[in-house]
Structure 1
């Protein structure tokens, strides 16, 4: 029997949406244990620690960080599904008078971890309408237009931001990794009235059908 696919989310509500989508789209005679869905906590530290613990207790074939996210206006609209070409820790580095210096420029490692090419190809084939681009990982969610503009300028290929992808990718440590998100709100000033959580969770359930392809 092949090893299962591990799908991790920040919060239980995301995990429940994914499980519902998997159950609705399961191919005939599919073993539900082939995809394991677990909430791991909010933020890159909790995501890395809990994912690492899960990977020490069971062997998995690949790891996917999934959930809802904020979308960059003009790049990923509300309700869209996005797939990360790379997961980038956007606030890992140092400030300087000239602007933010990513850890890569400081010579202390990398802030960018690419998705596994084969896993990414399988997901994009199963989700042809998904928007591909970088997904940022931040410990502090963007809440101002100024920060949103700075991030958009620094990362012209970024389509969304969340809080766990880079931590999960770090913990995967050689296992195939990918990040899948659906857009609940635009990045920028916090306007709860503009959030579309119900639609984002519904889109997450729908997109979860692609995980059976990734598991195959």
Structure 2
């Protein structure tokens, strides 16, 4: 019965090596549809480059900063940077390297954030994307995934930011 004030996309994600490691949290300063565009003879061209809109939605910087501070105060490791939304999970070191080169500072990839951000934008609402790193972006090694640990970290992160969002 109350109007919404915020859209939150939360879950697990793959972390880019050196940017976000297993069990850490990732908080988006930008939410990017990393594979929304077209393949060209020169490589990938985003919808921005094609002139068909924007593949990037900015997070509210003040909200992200308050959440980062709350997460760190709770003793959690959080990485802030671009979170990529992909429709096909990256499965090779070469593809992961291409993404990092194309989107400098990318912290993690997941599959839902950009959709949530577009819905928030349509309602003029701020959006927050919080992910816990369950695996590394690149070759799929299911034995190395740490889903339970990531979900535990996500629960801890959600508890830590609860007061910031109240």
- Alignment check: 8 A CA contact 1:115 1:178 kept: yes
- How far is 1:58 from its partner? 5.5
| Alpha-carbon separation, structure 2, partners of 1:196 and 1:154 | 27
Give the corresponding residue for 1:73: 17
- Alignment check: 8 A CA contact 1:76 1:131 kept: yes
- For these two proteins, the number of residue pairs brought into alignment is 160
Match of 1:124 among 59, 64, 68: 68
Give the corresponding residue for 2:126: 176
SS of aligned partner of 1:64: strand
TM-score under structure 1 length normalisation: 0.71
Larger radius of gyration: 1
Match of 2:145 among 195, 202, 210: 195
TM-score under structure 2 length normalisation: 0.92
Give the corresponding residue for 1:215: 165
- How far is 1:137 from its partner? 0.1
- How far is 1:211 from its partner? 3.1
Structure 1 runs (4+) greater than 3 angstroms displaced: none
- Alignment check: 8 A CA contact 1:119 1:177 kept: no
- How far is 1:102 from its partner? 0.5
Q: Which deviations, in whole Å up to 9, do the C-alpha atoms of 1:158-206 show, x marking residues without a partner?
A: 0100001010000002101110000000001110011111110110111
| Alpha-carbon separation, structure 1, partners of 2:160 and 2:152 | 14
Pairing of 1:15-94 with structure 2 (within 5 A): 59-94=3-38
Q: Which deviations, in whole Å up to 9, do the C-alpha atoms of 1:65-124 show, x marking residues without a partner?
A: 100000001111100011001000000111111110011011111000011123212211
- Alignment check: 8 A CA contact 1:123 1:213 kept: no
RMSD (Å), alpha carbons: 1.2
Q: 1:139 aligned to 2:87?
A: yes
| Alpha-carbon separation, structure 1, partners of 2:111 and 2:25 | 17
- Alignment check: 8 A CA contact 1:182 1:200 kept: yes
Structure 1: runs of 5 or more not aligned: 1-56
Match of 1:104 among 48, 52, 60: 48
| Alpha-carbon separation, structure 2, partners of 1:205 and 1:100 | 36
